[in-house]
């Protein structure tokens, strides 16, 4: 299962096409819309989210609520488009009063993108490099999430830190973090602790006051996984690299850790690897989950736990210095309307990327054509594992 998106931040709409979707999968528009709303939420978002009310429109591949085995096309309209029709028109003459973006923001794709594409207007780059595109990813991932849910796999996320404020957790690798979804979603920063939520909001307030922006870390957790999904034999099969690449494809992601992550490099082997036990009913399992649910590039059957780090958003209301592309003189970077912090939203996008990578690996193992055959293959595999 793969997706591709198109669309500019202030163009008419974002579009996604998902292919490799099996027939007979139930799709819920409401579920996708609720994920889109989660991605829009979060303390620290800027004025744009007051304009947008992201809703999906499914225009291909689904009939009477079920997939029919053809590519699924999804669209999310940009409500802000009506304010940009002249500046972002697909055709017609360049408006005489058009203000080009010529002061590239350090940390954004503006400068390198403009050099690469030979444009004198960074808007041609920033419109697509904008994280607005991730709305299309979340919509598209609705297909992957429904597929996984049918097979008993759930994907959720929570924010672990914003700036200097962190969630104080017991060792999350001892077992799966089992926070209540409601506690996460009711928090303004999608963090399951009220105390940490308040500390994170205070960091965001201080950053806004100072014209700053903030990054942070979050975890994505997938439960209900079968062991042996992914592969060890070739580079392309390894789920570690596939999920890693998927997460690094999200704008602003600077680090990804599986399970213990970098901490594993500081401990001796006996305190890193997870002892194996066997249970007559459940089959093989582990006494802890330092591996974060992946061994040898395959799922172990324990929850997948992956932590990602997001850098602060490059648009600063107290801008850094840059160079004007027209005059080559030093100037302040442009001050686009922006978010102070988008870590809670980014965690929802990361759920989408993890869901795609897992759905793709499940389809590889259990077949592609239709849900009946896939479920039969999953059932037979489950039975074989229990009879070991
Ligand atoms: C973004 C800048 C802001 C964000 C946007 C990403 O948009 P605008 O320039 O229109 O105020 O709100 O994110 C979204 C629109 C979104 O839906 O996530 C940027 O420069 O990357």
Q: Looking at ligand 1, which residue's alpha carbon is closest to its atom 5? A: 132
Q: Which atom of ligand 1 is nearest to the CA of 52?
A: 17
Q: pLDDT value at position 174?
A: 64
Predicted local distance difference test score (pLDDT) of residue 212: 95
Query: Of all protein residues, whose CA lies closest to atom 17 belonging to ligand 1?
Result: 132
Ligand 1 binding pocket includes 78 (Cβ within 6 Å): no
- pLDDT at residue 178 above 90? no
d(CA 354, CA 244): 9
Domain ranges of the chain: 2-94+103-386
State the chain's mean pLDDT as an integer: 95
Q: Is the pLDDT of residue 136 over 80?
A: yes
Residue nearest to atom 18 of ligand 1 (CA): 132
Distance (Å) from CA 131 to ligand 1 centroid: 6
153-180 mean pLDDT: 87
Strand segments (E) across 178-287: 216-223, 253-258, 276-279, 283-286
pLDDT-derived band at 175 (thresholds 50, 70, 90) equals: low
CB 330 within 8 A of CB 323: yes
DSSP code per residue over 57-101: EEEESEETTEE-SS-EEEEEE-GGGGGTTTTT-SSSPPPTT----
Tell me, what's the pLDDT at 282?
A: 77
% helix, strand, coil for the chain, step of 5:
35, 20, 45
Q: Quick check: CB of 75 below 6 Å from ligand 1?
A: no
Ligand 1 pocket residue status of 344, Cβ below 6 Å: no
Check if the beta carbon of residue 144 is closer than 8 Å to that of residue 358: yes
C-alpha distances in angstroms, 156 versus 144, 171, 178, 305, 341? 13, 18, 10, 10, 20
More confident residue, 280 or 21: 21
Out of 149-158, 166-175, 186-195, which region has the weakest mean confidence (pLDDT)? 166-175
CA of 142 to the centre of ligand 1 (A): 21
Distance CA 198, CA 79 (A): 31
How many angstroms separate the alpha carbon of residue 42 from the centre of ligand 1?
Answer: 13
> What's the pLDDT score for residue 113?
98
322 Cβ closer than 6 Å to some ligand 1 atom: no
- Range of lowest pLDDT (64-68, 181-185, 214-218, 328-332): 181-185
Q: How confident is the model at residue 176 (pLDDT cuts 50, 70, 90)?
A: low
Angle made by CA atoms 23, 28, 34, in degrees to the nearest 5: 140
pLDDT at 388: 56
Distance CA 374, CA 365 (A): 9
Higher pLDDT, 388 or 145: 145
Atom number of ligand 1 nearest to Cα 80: 10
Average of pLDDT values for 258-276? 96
The mean per-residue pLDDT over the stretch 177-204 comes to 93
Ligand 1 contact via 339 beta carbon (within 6 Å): yes
CB 334 near ligand 1, within 6 Å: no
Q: Which of 5, 9, 124, 343 to mutate to test the pocket of ligand 1 (most atoms within 8 A of CB)?
A: 9
Shortest-distance Cα residue to atom 16 of ligand 1: 132
369-384 pLDDT, tens digit per residue, is 999 999 999 999 999 9
Q: What is the pLDDT of residue 387?
A: 65
CA distance 45 to 277: 46
Contact partners, residue 165, CB within 8 Å, separation at least 6: 196, 199, 200, 202, 203
Res 338: pLDDT: 86
Query: What is the structure's pLDDT at 101?
Result: 96
Share of the chain above pLDDT 90, in %: 92
Residue 336: its pLDDT value, please?
A: 76
* φ, ψ dihedrals at 71, nearest 5°: -55, 140
Closest CA to ligand 1's atom 4: 338
User: In which band, very low, low, confident or very high, does the pLDDT at 83 lie, cut at 50, 70 and 90?
Assistant: very high
Q: pLDDT tens digits for 215-264?
A: 999 999 999 999 999 999 999 999 999 999 999 999 999 999 999 999 99
CATH code for the part of the protein at 2-94+103-386:
3.60.150.10
Compute the distance between CA of residue 385 and CA of residue 381 in angstroms, rounded to an integer: 6
pLDDT confidence of residue 352: 98
Question: For a pocket test of ligand 1, which of 338, 342, 343 has the largest count of ligand atoms closer than 8 A to its C-beta?
Answer: 338
pLDDT at 169 over 90: no
pLDDT digits (tens, 9 = 90+) for 301-356: 999 999 999 999 999 999 999 999 999 999 999 887 889 999 999 999 999 999 99
> For the stretch 195-228, what's the b/e string if a residue is b when 16 or more beta carbons lie within 10 angstroms of its beta carbon?
ebbebbbebbeebbeeebbbbbbbbbbbbebbbe
Q: What is the 3-state secondary structure (H, E, C) of 227-255?
A: CCCECCCCHHHCHHHHHHHHHHCCCCEEE
For the record, the structure tokens of 305 come out as: 């736990």
């Amino acid at each position: 299962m793969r997706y591709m998106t198109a669309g500019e931040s202030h163009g008419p709409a974002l579009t996604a096409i998902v292919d490799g979707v099996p027939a007979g999968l139930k799709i819920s528009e409401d579920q996708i819309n609720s994920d889109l709303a989660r991605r829009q939420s979060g303390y620290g978002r800027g004025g744009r989210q007051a304009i947008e009310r992201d809703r999906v429109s499914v225009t291909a591949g689904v009939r009477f609520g079920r997939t029919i085995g053809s590519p699924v096309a999804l669209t999310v309209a940009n409500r802000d488009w009506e304010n940009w029709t002249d500046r972002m028109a697909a055709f017609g003459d360049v408006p005489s009063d058009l203000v080009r973006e010529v002061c590239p923001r350090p940390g954004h794709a503006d400068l390198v993108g403009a050099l690469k594409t030979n444009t004198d207007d960074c808007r041609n780059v920033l419109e697509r490099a904008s994280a607005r595109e991730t709305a299309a990813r979340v919509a598209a991932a609705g297909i992957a999430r429904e597929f996984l849910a049918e097979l008993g796999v759930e994907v959720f996320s929570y924010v672990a830190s914003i700036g200097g404020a962190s969630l104080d957790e017991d060792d999350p690798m001892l077992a799966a973090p089992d926070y209540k979804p409601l506690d996460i979603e009711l928090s303004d920063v999608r963090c399951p602790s009220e105390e940490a939520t308040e500390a994170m909001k205070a960091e965001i307030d201080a950053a806004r006051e100072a014209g700053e922006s903030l990054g942070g870390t979050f975890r994505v957790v997938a439960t209900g996984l079968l062991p042996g999904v992914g592969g060890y034999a070739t580079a392309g099969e390894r789920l570690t690299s596939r999920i890693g690449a998927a997460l690094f494809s999200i704008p602003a992601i600077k680090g990804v850790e599986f399970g213990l992550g970098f901490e594993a490099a500081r401990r001796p082997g006996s305190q890193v690897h997870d002892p194996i036990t066997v249970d007559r009913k459940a089959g093989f399992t582990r006494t802890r989950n330092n591996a974060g649910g992946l061994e040898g590039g395959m799922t172990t059957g324990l929850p997948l736990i992956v932590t990602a780090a997001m850098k602060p958003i490059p648009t600063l209301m107290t801008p850094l210095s840059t160079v004007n592309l027209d005059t080559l003189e030093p100037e302040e970077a442009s001050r686009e309307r922006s978010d102070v912090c988008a870590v809670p939203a980014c965690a929802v996008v990361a759920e989408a990327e993890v869901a795609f990578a897992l759905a793709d690996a499940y389809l590889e193992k259990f077949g592609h054509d239709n849900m009946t055959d896939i479920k039969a293959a999953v059932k037979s595999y489950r039975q074989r594992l229990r009879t070991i």
